[in-house]
Amino acid sequence: FFSVFRRLHCMQRAPRRRALQRSSAPPLVTPCCATFALLVCVLLSTSLVLMKRAASDDDGGGGGAAAAAAAATEALTDASVRKGDVVMVTGGSGLVGRGIRAALGAELGDGDAAAGDDAREVIDAVGAKWVFVSSKDADLADAAATKALFAAEQPTHVVHLAAMVGGLFRNMRHNVEMFRVNSAINDNVLACAHEHKCRKVVSCLSTCIFPDKTTYPIDETMVHNGPPHDSNLGYSTAKRNLDVLSRLYRRQHGCNFTTVVPTNVFGEFDNFNLDDSHVIPGLIHKFYKAKKSGSAVELLGTGTPLRQFLYSRDLGRLFLWVLRKYNDAAPVILSVPEQHEVSIKQLAESIKRALAFDGEIRWSGDEKQNGQFKKTASPSKLLQLYKQSEGVDFQYTNFDDALAATCAWFEANYDTKARV
């Protein structure tokens, strides 16, 4: 470096140098070039030291990776729920939160009472406190409000269910809002969970995160293999990013953050609003109104798309198992077996029977209103791990029985607890 810069500098001052040589004056270029070269060498040496330190912190070697690995090991061995712990359930007043309440109640011998109980806190069988928070407690899309909630509750564990949700047509109309709001919620919750050193976080994804063009059945390795269906791109992308963010917290900070992917959930306390509900509660409400008015049921699409439906109380029991037993970074699909998949037309006929509706069903026949044709997911990983840890197969509630219970609850609570 010294030689190169000396030559450049001397070339620029060649006329003056010749003049100086004629007058026998000493050359003046060497000190300047030497100083500049010295500075360059110092900067290069500093850069090499910093690069070496960064490399030592990367995966595969060094104190940074070792520290993260040690933190992850400690987190995995200390994730159990014990007496005195606080499990905070975001979005706890909704459908899945009620399913978790019912599962906790079943362990205490009063599942129905627990599911219908509006109490904000539940003490479980081991003496841990479960806090079911809702949008009334905090706007989780607001960072300051989320920080205040965590500071007030001091959770040791988090079950993250909160989300801005809606059915097919609401997603199609509000993709931007679905992406922005859900991204903010997820970022705020995980950041606060890390800040408060929560021992475990289980976050809820959705089967809409899987690629639109894929092979079936879908499994947990296929989440990022291609773009999701365009109809709910905003919501599904935000949920995909929740999986990525959970993995990054685990990799960088050793956090025991994991995710689950439930299939289409239904049950008591669902959102039955016709403008933004999912398929089962929306159909139940339509059949109920048609039965009251004596009119036909008008349904969009062809009825051919296929779906797997999971009863909320079954999902509640699975969430308890995941919180207590599942510690992998990769998501786990929570679903009924593939052979339980039904078409939307079959679903409509089942609701018709459950509500004793004797009128006509009319389909629009427009395939553009169908949405994604199928999202068949494999619960093989779940069922294998569950049997390994529990020694028995997981027992699902019969679909027709669960659907009948949901319809009966809706009719009984139409003017009170049902969200219509």
User: Per residue in 161-199, is it b (16+ CB within 10 Å) or e — as a string?
Assistant: bbbbbbbbbbbbebbeebbebbbbbbbbbbbbbbebebb
CA–CA separation, 4 and 198 (whole Å) = 57
Sign of CA dihedral 327, 329, 334, 339: negative
Those residues whose C-beta lies under 8 Å from the C-beta of residue 317, and which sit 6 or more positions away, are 103, 106, 394
Terminal CA-CA length for the chain: 77
Counting every residue, how long is the chain?
420
Residues forming beta bridges with residue 271, ordered by sequence position: 419
Tokens found for residue 28: 């003046």
Is 235 considered catalytic here? yes
Q: Where are the beta strands (DSSP E) in 165-234?
A: 200-204
SS3 310: strand
Q: How far is CA 146 from CA 78, 136, 150, 192, 323, in A?
A: 25, 12, 6, 7, 22
CA distances from 58 to 73, 76, 104, 253 (A): 18, 21, 42, 13
Q: Is the peptide bond before 15 cis (omega within 30 degrees of 0)?
A: no
Dihedral angle of Cα 142, 143, 146, 148, to the nearest 10 degrees? -110
Q: Which helix (H) or strand (E) holds 293?
A: helix 279-293
Of 216, 235, 288, 396, the active-site residue reads: 235
CA atoms within a 13 Å half-sphere pointing along the CA-CB vector of 291: 16
In three-state secondary structure terms, 93 is coil
Q: Which residues are catalytic?
A: 235
